[in-house]
Structure 1
Amino acid sequence: MKINLPTVGPIVGFTDPNQTRLFLRGELERDAHGLRRAFGVVRWRKLGGQKWSDPLFNKLSPNFDMTGVFAISSLTPSTVYEYQAGWFFADAELEKIEQINANLLEWPTPDADFTMSFKTSTTSTTGTRGYVVGSCRYLLRLFGGLWYDDRGDKVFRSVLEQIDKKKPVDALLMIGDQIYADDLNFVAPDTRLDQFLERYRTVFSQTYIQQLMARVPTYMILDDHEIEDNWPANADKQDRVTLYPHAIHAYQIYQSSHSPLFSADRVGRIEGTLSHFWYSFVDGCSEWFVMDSRTERDLSATPPTMVSETQLKALLDWLGNGSQLVKFVVTSVPLFPDLLNDAGDKWGAFAEQRRLIIEHIRNNKISKVIFVSGDVHCSFVSKLTLDSDPSFSVHSVVSSSFFWPYPHMSKTEFAFNTQLTGIPGGNYVTRLLSDVYSDDNFARLESSLKGVDVNFFERKGGSLGPATKIKF
């Protein structure tokens, strides 16, 4: 059985000290008898080892765009593994495939294009962990889908070059607008499932992003452009019945499926259905809560709510868990500062829930909290303080955009050094700690229990300024 290279992926997803998730896509093909059965397969070994693991198989279903996710377990912490992943056609059921002799699998000749590697997470909290974070990677589709702009892929080449120069990345956080399904908000927006799926296939199979996600554990969360601009503010009833289910089905296939949201069965296949899109995970000295700041909005509530009560309680409980680790909270739109002209899309329009989060942190004296956001097409580091309580502070890192070929936002559009709206009786003020970078860029976060260093790099890899040092 000849093993073919994935048509999308592989993507290294959720990774902890003892397991990882691998995502890949095969191909759909019909013959005279109908749709051919396709199966994904992976194998792995410690870097430098001689013996491969037994192969792990998964059926690739057209219901999930011929994709599959493999949960590899019983791994060793802080260890580099090399792996191979591919797919093949076979006229058999999965139970029969799992019984075949591994020697019958014809793997491609091992080379740099097929044998890849990942590193498991650590059990130690004393070291430093490195992250790349960013959002908003625009990919313009023109001429009926016959041409795609690939300039945005160069930002991922820059990350790969840093890794090759011994600047390791322990995880990649993609924090919204991984696709722009609504080109220019009006030119042939995606509305059907096949269009959303094609968009993901194109975005995730470009050269450098594919290479990066095949090496580095990657965590994702959506923002509005995975559905439509400013969702759900402009949605009508028909959008909720047709557009949203198609967009979310594609999102679950390509972004949620390799996240910590799914559990794995005893033979390494993920299982279950989702009730929400937010999740959390721990990585050495850091722990992350990745919020869904988009799909749970209730604009008709009084006051309007950004997230459900269930998600809000989960976040507050997580913040108060007493771990003493660095707490990164991902929210696709910035918690602070406010925009001077916010059209109701950011946290300033959901001030009551924001107040609950901020005052929970202050009242419970929770330290080492950093909000990580994108969306606004510029990047900076800021700090929220309270004049009446010098012991309180919360930091925010905004990193956007990976690539946006139109005018970016600037410092003058934000309410720095101004009281945060919606918190009566408290003079919460956002203070800028870095320059505001109105360039395509990504951020590197070097996290330890003593603090976090934040550096921004432009799309081609040049530094945009000195590190901003957040000390605990």
Structure 2
Amino acid sequence: MKLNQPTVGPIVGHTSTDLVRIFLRGSQEREGDGFRRCFAILRWRPAGGSWSKPLFNKLTLNFDFTGVLVPQGLTPATRYEYQACWFFAETELESLPAIDEKTFEWPTPDDGLYDSFSTSPANDLAPRRYAVGSCRYLLRLFEQTLFDDRGDKLFRSILEKRKTEPVDGLMMIGDQIYADDLNFIAPDTTILQYLERYRSVFSQPYIRKLMANVPTYMILDDHEIEDNWPKGAKRKSATTLFTNAMYAYQIYQCSHSPLLNVTPDGRLDGIPRRYWYSFSDGCADWFVMDSRTERVIAPDDPSRHQMISQTQMKALLDWLDDQSARVKLVVTSVPIFPDMAAENDDKWGGFQAQRQTILEHIRTKGIRKVVFVSGDVHCSFAGRLELKNDSSFAVHFVVSSSFYWPTAHMQEHQFAFGSALQGTAPQQYVSKRLTQVHSDDNYARLEVSPTDLVVRYYDRKGSALEKKKITF
């Protein structure tokens, strides 16, 4: 039985000490009024060891012929090789494990023999390394793709850099797609358009190779839906467009996150009820916020503005105060600080009450080693938030954007560095810039240890831009 390479993926998703989530897309082929039965198959082995028995999953039209398979019972801090494929078969899912394994024709070296991943270490103080960024633009107009090479080159740079500077994870913090090409000329509105957008973006060769070999985590921002969502949303957008956008998001970004439960036979169980999540990896604890879909905009009463729900807020505050000795990395797709020099309504500066709640919780509880990681603004920098009358307080921030943006980038003068954050009286929280503002396409490499964070910025071609060590 011929096994085929995925049409999208594979994507190595959430990876822990003993399991990994692997996403792939098969293909569709008409058969009468429906489609042929399509299945995913996956096998894995410790590098150079013996292959496991395969896992199977059925791939259906409901999920754009995608699926996630979850090997379990793995060994911590171990490199595994794997093969993820798909095939057509006139059988039932339950019957597949009984098929003689010799029936399956696995890819050969000429086809691309296997990809690999590494499980997390059991040591919860082990240093970890991540590539971080956001905002990867790929223009698609009239069923065409433009700017292909430039949009994928940065991921080639990360792949090349891995040979000498390994990464343990890839954190993509918003605008993985731009569904609203040029904002108004040809925005995606239908389910099929959103799905095709993801297929195009995630199938380019370098990002595909990177995600097939590095645990990848994602969270959305506005362009997965439409620009500045939900500020300008009309009634139709709030129903049809949002529903279509989030359906595609659940399939291509949410499915391989830590959100859903895993069944004993290695498949996902249930549907997502929220989009924020948390996970631990060595010395790093991550809380990945949904700072887009839970917003409440109250034009007549800004005090009622809400960036995140009360449920998410409680989960975040409890997570911050869990008394762990690990570094706490909080992902929010839009910067929480500094304030913008002019318009703040799309950033945390427009949701000052909730920002104040988070900061006061960190201050009064004496929580250390907190780093906010953001994207969105098409430039990159790192800094520290200080309190004027309390030298013991420090919260750090890293902004990394954009992976690729074809027009003008933001500049240093557009941020209120050195000024007190709006809405933080009587405390005076001041954001201090620790690096240059890098206004060309780039990504950040975060080297996290229990005592410090090293931030390195690299441009799209892989050249080093700046290095900053932050001591906790």
Q: TM-score range by the shorter chain?
A: over 0.9
Q: Is the 8 A contact 1:141 1:149 kept in 2?
A: no
- Residue aligned with 2:243, SS: helix
What is the CA–CA distance in structure 1 between the aligned matches of 2:227 and 2:114, rounded to whole Å? 39
Aligned residue type for 2:362 = I
What is the CA–CA distance in structure 1 between the aligned matches of 2:297 and 2:196, rounded to whole Å? 31
1:255 aligns with 2:253: yes
What is the CA–CA distance in structure 1 between the aligned matches of 2:229 and 2:125, rounded to whole Å? 41
Structure 1 residues 420-457: Cα deviation after superposition (integer angstroms, max 9, x where no partner): 00111111100000000001000000000010000000
2:144 match: 146
Aligned residue type for 1:117 = S
What is the CA–CA distance in structure 2 between the aligned matches of 1:276 and 1:145, rounded to whole Å? 32
The alignment's TM-score, normalised by the length of structure 1, stands at 0.98
Q: How far is the alpha carbon of 1:212 from its aligned partner?
A: 0.2
What is the CA–CA distance in structure 2 between the aligned matches of 1:471 and 1:147, rounded to whole Å? 44
- Residue aligned with 2:200, SS: helix
What is the CA–CA distance in structure 2 between the aligned matches of 1:202 and 1:33, rounded to whole Å? 27
Q: Which aligned pairs between 1:312-351 and structure 2 lie closer than 5 A?
A: 312-351=313-352
Q: Which aligned pairs between 1:294-373 and structure 2 lie closer than 5 A?
A: 294-300=292-298, 302-373=303-374
Moved more, 26-35 or 55-64: 26-35
1:7 match: 7
Q: Is the 8 A contact 2:174 2:219 kept in 1?
A: yes
Structure 1 residues 177-229: Cα deviation after superposition (integer angstroms, max 9, x where no partner): 00000011112000000000000000000000000000000000000000000
Q: How far is the alpha carbon of 1:32 from its aligned partner?
A: 3.8
Aligned residue type for 2:237 = D
- Residue aligned with 2:186, SS: coil
Q: Which aligned pairs between 1:268-283 and structure 2 lie closer than 5 A?
A: 268-283=266-281
Q: How far is the alpha carbon of 1:98 from its aligned partner?
A: 2.6
Q: How far is the alpha carbon of 1:147 from its aligned partner?
A: 2.9
Aligned residue type for 1:109 = T
- Residue aligned with 1:72, SS: coil
Q: Which aligned pairs between 1:8-407 and structure 2 lie closer than 5 A?
A: 8-32=8-32, 34-49=34-49, 51-110=50-109, 113-142=112-141, 144-150=142-148, 151-165=150-164, 167-300=165-298, 302-407=303-408
What is the CA–CA distance in structure 2 between the aligned matches of 1:223 and 1:112, rounded to whole Å? 36
Q: How far is the alpha carbon of 1:33 from its aligned partner?
A: 6.4
Q: Is the 8 A contact 2:403 2:460 kept in 1?
A: yes
Please tell me the root mean square deviation across aligned C-alpha atoms, in Å: 1.0
- Residue aligned with 1:391, SS: strand
Q: How far is the alpha carbon of 1:309 from its aligned partner?
A: 0.1
- Residue aligned with 1:289, SS: strand
What is the CA–CA distance in structure 1 between the aligned matches of 2:295 and 2:329, rounded to whole Å? 22
Q: How far is the alpha carbon of 1:110 from its aligned partner?
A: 3.6
- Residue aligned with 2:372, SS: strand
Aligned residue type for 2:47 = L
Q: Is the 8 A contact 2:138 2:145 kept in 1?
A: no
Provide the aligned length of Structure 1 versus Structure 2: 468
Q: 1:33 to 1:141 in 2, by over 3 A?
A: closer
Aligned residue type for 2:21 = R
What is the CA–CA distance in structure 1 between the aligned matches of 2:263 and 2:4, rounded to whole Å? 25
What is the CA–CA distance in structure 2 between the aligned matches of 1:14 and 1:34, rounded to whole Å? 33
Aligned residue type for 2:270 = G
What is the CA–CA distance in structure 1 between the aligned matches of 2:342 and 2:219, rounded to whole Å? 25
Mark the runs of 5 or more structure 2 residues left unpaired by the alignment: none
What is the CA–CA distance in structure 1 between the aligned matches of 2:239 and 2:33, rounded to whole Å? 34
Q: How far is the alpha carbon of 1:343 from its aligned partner?
A: 4.9
Q: Is the 8 A contact 1:440 1:459 kept in 2?
A: yes
Q: Is the 8 A contact 1:290 1:331 kept in 2?
A: yes
What is the CA–CA distance in structure 2 between the aligned matches of 1:421 and 1:112, rounded to whole Å? 56
Q: Is the 8 A contact 2:10 2:22 kept in 1?
A: yes
What is the CA–CA distance in structure 1 between the aligned matches of 2:110 and 2:455, rounded to whole Å? 35
Q: 1:469 to 1:134 in 2, by over 3 A?
A: same
Q: How far is the alpha carbon of 1:340 from its aligned partner?
A: 1.2
What is the CA–CA distance in structure 1 between the aligned matches of 2:31 and 2:109, rounded to whole Å? 30
Structure 1 residues 285-338: Cα deviation after superposition (integer angstroms, max 9, x where no partner): 111000000000011374200000000000000000000100000000001000
What is the CA–CA distance in structure 1 between the aligned matches of 2:243 and 2:305, rounded to whole Å? 23
What is the CA–CA distance in structure 2 between the aligned matches of 1:464 and 1:273, rounded to whole Å? 42
Aligned residue type for 2:280 = V
What is the CA–CA distance in structure 1 between the aligned matches of 2:372 and 2:110, rounded to whole Å? 40
- Residue aligned with 2:391, SS: coil
Aligned residue type for 1:8 = V
What is the CA–CA distance in structure 2 between the aligned matches of 1:367 and 1:255, rounded to whole Å? 31
Q: How far is the alpha carbon of 1:125 from its aligned partner?
A: 3.1
Structure 1 residues 111-147: Cα deviation after superposition (integer angstroms, max 9, x where no partner): 57241110000111343210000000000113x0223
Q: How far is the alpha carbon of 1:35 from its aligned partner?
A: 1.1
Q: 1:171 to 1:293 in 2, by over 3 A?
A: same
- Residue aligned with 1:240, SS: helix
Mark the runs of 5 or more structure 1 residues left unpaired by the alignment: none
2:470 match: 470
1:423 match: 424
Q: How far is the alpha carbon of 1:106 from its aligned partner?
A: 1.2
- Residue aligned with 2:161, SS: helix
Q: Is the 8 A contact 1:5 1:114 kept in 2?
A: no
Q: Is the 8 A contact 2:133 2:403 kept in 1?
A: yes
- Residue aligned with 1:392, SS: strand
1:457 match: 458
Aligned residue type for 2:126 = G
Q: Is the 8 A contact 2:125 2:326 kept in 1?
A: no
Aligned residue type for 1:141 = R
Q: Is the 8 A contact 2:132 2:170 kept in 1?
A: yes
Q: Is the 8 A contact 1:378 1:436 kept in 2?
A: yes
1:444 aligns with 2:455: no
What is the CA–CA distance in structure 1 between the aligned matches of 2:470 and 2:224, rounded to whole Å? 32
